[in-house]
């Protein structure tokens, strides 16, 4: 018969825990001879094992659940990436044909407006799909950049071509400031175009008609500073610490029922960080916002 009850074992475990918490350092002494345990050491060990056996079973169960959850998440990520990739192909065709129709129907105001709406909706869906693909790549550690010496002016020209139509449709003045002698930067042109375009699209969405959105690039002591500034509604101070978090949607986005997954700025931050930089934001409600980051200069040839 075991003379040690559950209460005895619990008291021993509590005493050991208190000793370790108060002073975990070992005390000097002679530990070569084991202390005598009433009833035998084996009885004591068996009692302790019985006490901790339910905890061990519970921990094993939790480990199995965590492993199953991780495997399920990985399957969901792979499925998401495959679906997004498969949807992009037909959507690209829709965008192409809608653009052709828009060009041919310029003389017909009603039809032209309809095709413009198709283009806008398709472009929004295309951006959402790209965000999902990039999110899956980020979470699996497969998001990559290909940095090299690049002409930032060419990147800004492409962004201007992609966003000018939307700016005109919204009645917003869109300006680009870039000196002709701007030196080359080191970065991935395609990924940086994605970042700047995303910032421009956000600025256009939150800037009222007759407002302004400006994109500037200039050389500083640290590198090439890129800033996207708007005269929009601004961001409340309490939201600024979370603005780059995944799936975060501020009050303005919720009030306007903005279409999106709240991934754009999180992806922008990740791409900028992969370039060895940080993206920052300054904003005042009712006055607008400015997003900035600095790229390293290319080494002289």
Q: Are residues 124 and 234 in the same domain?
A: no
- Per DSSP, the three-state class of 194 is helix
27, part of any domain: no
Q: How far is CA 216 from the centre of its chain?
A: 24
Q: Which of 139, 171, 201 is the last residue of a domain?
A: 139
Q: How confident is the model at residue 134 (pLDDT cuts 50, 70, 90)?
A: confident
Q: How far apart are CA 207 and CA 250, in angstroms?
A: 15
Asked which of 139, 168, 196 is the last residue of a domain, the reply is 139
Same domain, 216 and 114: no
Residue 23 lies in a domain: no
Residue 6: inside a domain: no
Boundary (domain end) residue, out of 86, 107, 139: 139
Per-residue model confidence (pLDDT) at position 162: 84
Q: Burial code of 259-294, b = ≥16 C-beta within 10 A, e = fewer?
A: ebebbbbbbbbbbbebbebebeeebeeeebbbbbbb
Domain holding 116, by residue range, is: 66-139
Hey, what are 63's tokens? 């480990």
Sign of the C-alpha dihedral, residues 233, 237, 241, 245? negative
Higher pLDDT, 203 or 248: 203
Asked if residue 267 is part of any domain, the answer here is yes
Q: Within this chain, do residues 233 and 189 fall inside the same structural domain, yes or no?
A: yes
Q: Which of 129, 140, 116 is nearest to 89 (CA)?
A: 129
Structurally, how many domains does the chain consist of? Answer: 2
Do 207 and 285 share a domain, yes or no? yes
CATH of the domain at 279: 3.30.565.10
Q: Quick one: pLDDT band at residue 257, thresholds 50, 70, 90?
A: very low
């Amino acid at each position: 018969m075991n003379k040690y009850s559950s209460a005895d074992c619990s008291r021993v475990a509590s005493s050991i825990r208190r000793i370790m918490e108060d002073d975990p350092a070992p005390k000097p002494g002679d530990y070569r001879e084991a202390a005598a345990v009433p009833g035998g050491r084996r009885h004591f060990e068996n009692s302790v094992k019985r006490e901790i056996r339910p905890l061990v079973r519970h921990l094993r169960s939790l480990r199995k659940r965590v492993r199953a959850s991780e495997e399920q998440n990985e399957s969901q990520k792979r499925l998401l990436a495959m679906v997004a990739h498969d949807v992009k192909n037909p959507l690209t065709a829709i965008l192409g044909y809608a653009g052709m129709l828009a060009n041919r129907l310029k003389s017909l105001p009603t039809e032209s407006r309809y095709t413009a709406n198709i283009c806008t909706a398709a472009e929004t869906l295309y951006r959402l799909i790209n965000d999902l693909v990039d999110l899956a790549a980020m979470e699996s550690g497969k998001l990559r950049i290909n940095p090299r010496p690049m002409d930032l002016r060419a990147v800004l020209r492409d962004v201007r071509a992609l966003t000018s139509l939307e700016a005109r449709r919204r009645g917003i003045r869109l300006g680009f400031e870039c000196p002709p002698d701007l030196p080359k930067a080191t970065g991935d042109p395609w990924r940086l175009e994605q970042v700047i375009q995303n910032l421009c699209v956000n600025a256009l969405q939150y800037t009222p008609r007759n407002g302004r959105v400006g994109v500037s690039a200039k050389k500083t002591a640290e590198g090439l500073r890129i800033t996207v500034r708007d005269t929009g509604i601004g961001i409340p101070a309490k939201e600024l610490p979370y603005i780059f978090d995944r799936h975060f949607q501020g009050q303005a986005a919720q009030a306007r029922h903005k279409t999106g997954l709240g991934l754009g700025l999180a992806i922008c931050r990740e791409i900028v960080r992969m370039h060895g930089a940080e993206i920052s934001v300054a904003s005042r409600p009712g006055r607008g916002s400015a997003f900035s980051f600095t790229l390293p200069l290319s080494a002289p040839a």
